[in-house]
Structure 1
């Protein structure tokens, strides 16, 4: 079963990587980042709702703690989707995906701030290496580089922070109900939040646009099928292994940006990306974040 679970997690990471590319294509066609995020979440909601309907036992929907922490997870995933696509729109898929992958670093920082975990020399050194990698990747030391705007960098980091909020919310909701119930509540919260900042005309226009297959693919790969595969796979595989396998997401997203959208990265950026991916993966393995 472990090999099958590994395949599930790999497929989920592949789906997430491809979804970043699909979102990039849609925004290059003029679609608003919030509209793209909204439809990604709504289609994901349909998937997990069907999953809950097919397997309703042990849902825990009567638990207030489940609703509270699932809503927190929903805030996190809403921010993750929205900030991720804003970052892509303001920079590149490679940079946005790699910055989002920094989520475990934010989990550490929140844990330190709340005194849930004590910082060690190794943890602090790893965080410093990640920060150095971010400097190289975003080229913030070179004002004229033009590869990404400050909004793009900030949005990418906020996407990572939001994902950390999702991780914590899901973690605390898990003892009170089933994954499908948690995700259903979380995606419902996402849909409620992201319907407001998007362009209303575009939100309605998606229903009749020739681009609707891309929106469906985005929702299926980016939120529906991927989350189901990841949760099912994670039940039978060590979180440390899952963290390593998740490295596929930013790599696939970056390749998609280079091959399909003609994005490019210079040497220092590639080195910075490598530092971030390797260090964050090591942090995740060490702590099972």
Structure 2
């Protein structure tokens, strides 16, 4: 079952990686990142609600604690999807996906801030390593030829921070309820939040457009199927193994960008990407141990 769990997590990470490329295709067609995020979460909500109904007898009661943490997770995933797509639009799929993978570093910094865990030289070394990798990946060492715009870098880091908030909220909500209940409430909150900021006319136009298939595929791969695979897979494996195989997501997104979308990565960018992925993986495994 351990290898089955790892396999499910890998499949989920591959789905997330491909979703970034699909979003880039839709943005090239002129669709707004907020509309793309809204449909990704909306299709995901339908999938989770069906899962909720299929497991209805196993669902526990919805407590106030569960509801509040699930809504908090929904805010986090809304920010994650939106900032991730904005980062792709301003930079590239590879840069955005790798910057989003800095989420464990934000979790670590928040742990220091709220004194949840002590600060050590090892942890600060990991933070320094990630920052060094970001400098190489984005080309920030050369202001004249920076490869990613400042907005793209900021949006990518904001996606990582939002992802950390989602993890924090989902973990606390799942401690008192089932994953399907938590995900249904979280993505319902997600849809309500983005509906307030999304262009209603453009969102309605999606339903009659020839790109509706891309939106459905994005929602199924990027939210519905991937999250179900992930939460099922982590039950059968350890957090350390799940953290390691999660590296598949930015690698898949980068390969999709290079092979399908025609993105280009310099050797220095590749080195920066490797430094970020390896440092965050080592940190995640160490924390799990």
The TM-score by the shorter chain falls in which range? over 0.9
> Residue 138 of structure 2 contacts residue 146 of structure 2 at CA under 8 Å; is this kept in 1?
no
CA distance in 2, matches of 1:105, 1:95: 17
CA distance in 2, matches of 1:269, 1:5: 32
Match of 1:273 in 2: 273
Residues 87-145 of structure 1 show CA distances to partners (whole Å, capped at 9, x for unaligned) of: 00000000000000010001101111110011111011011000010111111222232
The count of residues paired between Structure 1 and Structure 2 equals: 289
Deviates more, 1:58-67 or 1:230-239: 58-67
SS in 2 for 1:196: helix
CA distance in 2, matches of 1:50, 1:9: 21
Deviates more, 1:222-231 or 1:257-266: 257-266
Residues 5-55 of structure 1 show CA distances to partners (whole Å, capped at 9, x for unaligned) of: 111111000100000100010001111000000000000000111111110
Deviation at 1:146, TM superposition (A): 4.6
Q: TM-score, normalised by structure 2?
A: 0.98
SS in 2 for 1:144: helix
Match of 1:29 in 2: 29
Q: RMSD value over aligned CA atoms?
A: 1.1
> Residue 83 of structure 1 contacts residue 159 of structure 1 at CA under 8 Å; is this kept in 2?
yes
CA distance in 2, matches of 1:195, 1:35: 9
CA distance in 2, matches of 1:242, 1:97: 17
Match of 1:130 in 2: 130
Match of 1:103 in 2: 103
> Residue 73 of structure 1 contacts residue 186 of structure 1 at CA under 8 Å; is this kept in 2?
yes
Q: TM-score, normalised by structure 1?
A: 0.98
> Residue 129 of structure 2 contacts residue 279 of structure 2 at CA under 8 Å; is this kept in 1?
yes
**Residue ranges of structure 1 left out of the alignment (5+ in a row):** none
Residues 66-107 of structure 1 show CA distances to partners (whole Å, capped at 9, x for unaligned) of: 001001100100000000000000000000000000100011
Match of 2:167 in 1: 167
Deviation at 1:58, TM superposition (A): 4.6
Q: How does 1:53-72 map to 2 (within 5 A)?
A: 53-72=53-72
